[in-house]
Chain A
Amino acid sequence: MSWLEDLFTTRTARDSELSAEIREHLEERVEELVADGMTRSAAAAQARREFGNVALVEEDSRQVWRWQWLETLAADFRYASRTLRQSSGFTAIVILTLALGIGATTAIFSVVNAVLIRSLPFPHPNELVDISERSTMFDFMNLGLSLPDIADVRTSAPALQYTSAYNFNTREFGGDGKPERVSALDVDANFFSVLQIKPLVGRFFTPKKWRVRRT
């Protein structure tokens, strides 16, 4: 950001130059009055009287430059947009490149944010694994597991502290009024142990109530 640095350095340089200049002016007047036989304090008072309000003079002097940088900036923008309009092909490619670049970066960040940065709201989220089946015959990803398969996983994967089966579903919620369809998850009792969550009120159901109905 060199223009920004330029802006501040030239401004501070100009301000301190001005202050130095005014100081020199007052000193020169004091010297002259002292040479004429006046006491130093009387000379200083008279020099200031003749000069006027130092702070106001400095402020007025700075005010002269105050908006110049903004005008320069506006002129730069006008020049830039004029140049861009003249070579519209180049402009289009630049805009497209920027748009794709920004879009891709945003998309990647969204994924990284969701997957890596914002972790799951459960204890030890890095220890959670999701197991699903995949068809080798058809290109089906994330197939559900059958109940016998779940039982197999449960016995053959001792590295897992808890295992739980779940299934996305919908349920109708209906009291006295109109029933409403809500998203639901069918889970077994281990589900709460896997996620290590506790109910706010009451208790969850326990493994004893979970049974595979054989037909």
Chain B
Amino acid sequence: MMTPPPRDLFPGALEMMILRTLKRSPLHGYALAQHIKRTSNDLLQIEEGSLYPALQRLLKAGLVKAAWGTSATNRRVRIYTLTPTGRTHLEKEMSAFETMLEGITRVLAPVKP
């Protein structure tokens, strides 16, 4: 096994962002990568490629489904859509993440004298 490239994201973070993005509208891989990059103001160091294993995991778990279609620029692309299971999974993940984030923020907050 090769070691994966260093990633600044915790496991599942990329999947969560993909699901959240697909909740807005179905997208193909490239558009998905660009959207995440743009929306995050390039703050996240994500290699575009790492999107694909994540998408395969989501496909396998039945959280998204894929179908070949045509993009706005008339390209043959694989468009990913959120499934109902994916929708509920995203909601659960997001509330769990918010709880975790709140906990971490509280601990990291400067101690009041």
Contact = CB atoms under 8 A, between A and B. Distances in A.
Interface of B: 2, 4-5, 28-30, 33, 47-50, 52-53, 55-57, 60, 71, 73, 75-78
A17 B52 CA distance: 12
Contacts of B50: 52, 57
B49 A56 contact: yes
A49 to B, nearest CB: 9
B52 A21 contact: yes
A18 B52 contact: yes
Interface string A28-69: 110100000000000000000011111011101111110010
A25 B33 CA distance: 10
B49 to A, nearest CB: 4
Which of A17, A22, A28 has the most CB atoms of chain B within a 10 A radius of its CB?
A28
Q: Determine chain A's interface SS by DSSP, over half rule.
A: helix
A76 B79 CA distance: 32
Which of B47, B53, B73 has the most CB atoms of chain A within a 10 A radius of its CB?
B53
A52 B5 contact: yes
Given A24-B77, A29-B30, A29-B48, 5 more contacts: A25-B29, A52-B48, A56-B49, A61-B52, A61-B55
A84 B42 CA distance: 58
Interface string A1-28: 0000000000000000110011011011
B29 to A, nearest CB: 5
A51 B52 CA distance: 10
Interface of A: 17-18, 21-22, 24-25, 27-29, 31, 50-54, 56-58, 60-65, 68
A24 to B, nearest CB: 6
Contacts of B49: 22, 51-54, 56-57
Contacts of B71: 28
Given A25-B30, A52-B5, A65-B60, A60 B53 contact: yes
A80 to B, nearest CB: 24
5 contacts: A28-B73, A28-B77, A50-B47, A61-B55, A61-B56
B27 to A, nearest CB: 12
Given A24-B77, A28-B30, A68 B53 contact: no
A56 B73 CA distance: 28
Contacts of B28: 24
A60 to B, nearest CB: 4
A21 B68 CA distance: 10
B48 A64 contact: no
Given A28-B75, A52-B49, A63-B53, A68 B60 contact: yes
